[in-house]
Amino acid sequence: MEKVTLGQIKRAKGERKLVMITAYDALFAKLFDPYVDIILVGDSLNMVFAGRKDTLSATMDQMLYHTQAVCAGAKRAFILFDMPYGSYTDPASALANAIRVYKESDADAVKLEGGIEKAEVVRTLTDNGIAVMGHIGLMPQHVRAEGGYKVKKDLDKLLEDAKALEEAGVFAIILEGVKADLAAEVTASVSVPVIGIGAGKDVDGQVLVWSDMLGFFTDFTPRFVRRYMEGARLVQGAVRRFADDIREGHFPGPEESY
């Protein structure tokens, strides 16, 4: 299987739907690799993997560790590094941290949240040879400032942000938590692919957090998630059978013994 390239992702606009999923380790990255275009090493790992209440305390070291693991498992998919909160507050710090991503991992690009207010940061990165994906609409790193996760309905602001990011050089944009009709207008307004999450179907692709999509995260299920497996129930059932077999003397049996 040939490696998914930046050019292929950009050319997908209007031609085919892009498929993106999160991953945080080599095992799941290898499982997802044949079927998706992009694997996002998302700062969502701070909630899913580390059990925190939001993404804000994720660090560069933490994100790099998981990105290195994902890169070891996935050989085909395009690997996207999610810049953690506080790592791109200004062009200089953003560039230093993004250079670190390229030097310390095999990630193909970085993602950062913010629209017109982050255009200068994006331009600095792209001018220095770093591929950048934008992220507008509902931005999880703003959850405390906004008092929760809120669907975005201001079309003028969304269009302004999308066009500013496009002009600054992003190769694609994630659009999160936006009414479907507005998302369609934003998608049509830019020449780069727009990948939705909670943004309806009239975008250029979709992304979900793997543990939501496979039913492993059970604390709550966002409206935009479709579960393709009841992962938590299946794993708990298997572990229960394992425990029962040990306690009842059924494991190990002759076939598992030397």
Strand partners, 11: none
Catalytic residues: 176
DSSP state of 59: -
Residue for token digits 């591929």? 131
Beta bridge partners of 95: none
Pairwise CA distance, residues 21 & 38, whole Å = 7
CA 118 to CA 139: how far, in whole Å?
13
Q: Pick the closest to residue 194 from 154, 158, 148, 153 (CA basis).
A: 158
Strand partners, 29: none
Q: What angle do CA 152, 157, 163 make, to 5 degrees?
A: 120
Measuring CA to CA, which residue among 119, 44, 124, 125 is closest to residue 85?
44
Strand-pair category, 109-113 with 78-82: parallel
Dihedral sign computed on CA atoms, order 218, 222, 223, 225: negative
Phi, psi of 192 (to 5 degrees): -95, 155
Give how far Cα 52 sits from Cα of 24, 81, 169, Å: 15, 19, 33
